[in-house]
């Protein structure tokens, strides 16, 4: 649990510092944070990585509900507590759990899953709300 909270905090800080361009950034909304980790089947394949990134970026551009988003990949791990086994991470914020559910059900999200699900072997999601 502590590791998850630290990961979310790190990613939230990264979003505010290095995520979208300032002109495109909407305010980070701590009401509902959706953090997703993806493990690609062929993480060393440039073709698979490009296909995944293209589909994910298109999805986020077309989403009606995602407020802020950050797409990342693991840096070189410098400590034993850092899990760098994933291929990509995604952090998306919402103003409520209800809005996040609409995001799950929207056409853009379903298209992304249809286009990209064959590229990954594992997905883990951590959802959290502000304290």
Confidence of residue 110 (pLDDT cuts 50, 70, 90): very high
> How far apart are alpha carbons 130 and 128 in whole angstroms?
7
Question: How much is the average pLDDT of 108-124?
Answer: 97
Looking at the predicted structure, is the pLDDT value of residue 101 above 70?
yes
> How far apart are alpha carbons 129 and 5 in whole angstroms?
11
pLDDT on residue 130: 86
Confidence of residue 26 (pLDDT cuts 50, 70, 90): low
Domains in the chain (CATH in brackets) are 2-19+26-128 (3.30.70.100)
pLDDT on residue 81: 87
Dihedral (C-alpha) 58, 19, 40, 92: value to the nearest 10 degrees? -70
Looking at the predicted structure, is the pLDDT value of residue 2 above 70?
no
Q: 3-state class of 52 per DSSP? A: helix
Looking at the predicted structure, is the pLDDT value of residue 122 above 80?
yes
pLDDT on residue 9: 41
pLDDT digits (tens, 9 = 90+) for 30-89: 889 999 999 999 999 999 999 999 999 999 999 999 888 899 999 887 788 888 899 999
pLDDT digits (tens, 9 = 90+) for 14-23: 443 334 444 4
> How far apart are alpha carbons 100 and 67 in whole angstroms?
10
């Amino acid at each position: 649990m502590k590791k998850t909270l630290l990961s979310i905090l790190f990613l939230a800080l990264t979003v505010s510092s290095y995520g979208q361009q300032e002109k495109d950034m909407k305010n980070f909304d701590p009401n509902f944070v959706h953090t997703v980790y993806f493990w690609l089947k062929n993480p060393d394949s440039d073709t698979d990585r490009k296909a995944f990134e293209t589909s994910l970026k298109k999805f986020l551009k077309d989403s009606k509900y995602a407020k802020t988003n950050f797409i990342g990949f693991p840096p070189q791990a410098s400590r034993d507590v850092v899990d760098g086994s994933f291929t990509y991470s995604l952090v998306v914020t919402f103003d409520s759990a209800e809005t996040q559910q609409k995001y799950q059900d929207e056409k853009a999200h379903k298209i992304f899953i249809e286009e990209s699900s064959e590229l990954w072997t594992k997905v883990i999601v951590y959802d959290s709300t502000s304290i």
